Amino acid sequence: MDLQKYRELLVKEQEKLMRYLKKQVEEEKRLGDEWNSPKDFEEWAYFTYAENDLSIKARQKLSRLKEVKEALKRIENGKYGVCESCGSQIEPERLELIPWTRYCSKCARRHPEEL
Ligand SMILES: [Zn+2]
């Protein structure tokens, strides 16, 4: 499996999500010294904002961001691309489309929140 390729896809998605969320927050509230580095953002957004303060779209992006980070962790510890439900390899076509997915396409049908 070409892990490097998926890692790049995930990092790109992560940056996209960060940019989006940062902009969202900046529009509502000025970001001051609280914003240290993009790495801190997820935690910062999570603790600073009551969930209701974020739009539904922003909340979806925040949870996507968490999925992306989890997937990057799985690449690091060698567990990437394995379905969490049935343990089989996730289809490469599916990983290219949704590189942060945790389930193969068969199991994903039983986990509707996973697309
Ligand atoms: Zn599966």
* 55 Cα: distance to centroid of ligand 1 (angstroms): 32
On the question of pLDDT at 102 being above 90, the answer is yes
On the question of pLDDT at 47 being above 60, the answer is no
On the question of pLDDT at 33 being above 60, the answer is no
Assign residue 64 a region: left if phi > 0, alpha if psi is -120 to 50, beta otherwise? alpha
* 2 Cα: distance to centroid of ligand 1 (angstroms): 20
* 80 Cα: distance to centroid of ligand 1 (angstroms): 13
Report the largest interatomic distance among the alpha carbons of the chain, rounded to a whole angstrom. 46
* 60 Cα: distance to centroid of ligand 1 (angstroms): 23
* 42 Cα: distance to centroid of ligand 1 (angstroms): 29
pLDDT bracket for residue 97 (50, 70, 90): very high
- Tens of pLDDT, residue by residue over 49-89, are 555 566 778 888 888 999 999 999 999 999 999 999 999 99
Q: Output the pTM of the full model.
A: 0.77
Q: Which two tokens stand for residue 65?
A: 């961001």
On the question of pLDDT at 12 being above 60, the answer is yes
* 112 Cα: distance to centroid of ligand 1 (angstroms): 13
Question: Distance between terminal CA atoms of the chain?
Answer: 22
CA–CA separation, 73 and 55 (whole Å): 27
